[in-house]
Amino acid sequence: TIAPRTIAVQPTQLYESLSMVFVLLMILTFDRVKRREGQGMALMMICYGIHRYVNEILRIDQRPVGFENYVSILLVVAGVVMMTWLGLRKETPASSPTAA
């Protein structure tokens, strides 16, 4: 019998492309309803951290794991903290251009 010599892998590149298109559409939609500058970046940090964490779970190649997962979790936590901080911050009036 003929047995394959490779391991079965998930098409993570395809998953990554599709999920990043979804994240892009989510951020473009959120940009219309955001209330403060910087909230789009916070959403990007949260979505990308979740995306990377799930993508690393799907990979089954032989390499050390841990660092990527910790960075992804840190990115999600930092994004949540940033979104919360931006939501609690006082609104500042728009800066008016100064006449020279």
Say what the pTM is.
Answer: 0.74
Task: Encode pLDDT of 38-82 as tens digits.
Answer: 889 999 999 999 998 888 888 776 666 678 888 999 999 999 999
Output 59 or 16, whichever has higher pLDDT: 16
Does residue 87 carry a pLDDT above 90? Answer: no
Give the pLDDT of residue 97: 56
Residue 60 phi, psi (nearest 5): -125, 20
Predicted confidence band of residue 92 (pLDDT cuts 50, 70, 90): low
Q: Could you tell me which residues come within 8 angstroms of residue 38 by beta carbon, excluding any fewer than 6 positions away?
A: 82, 86
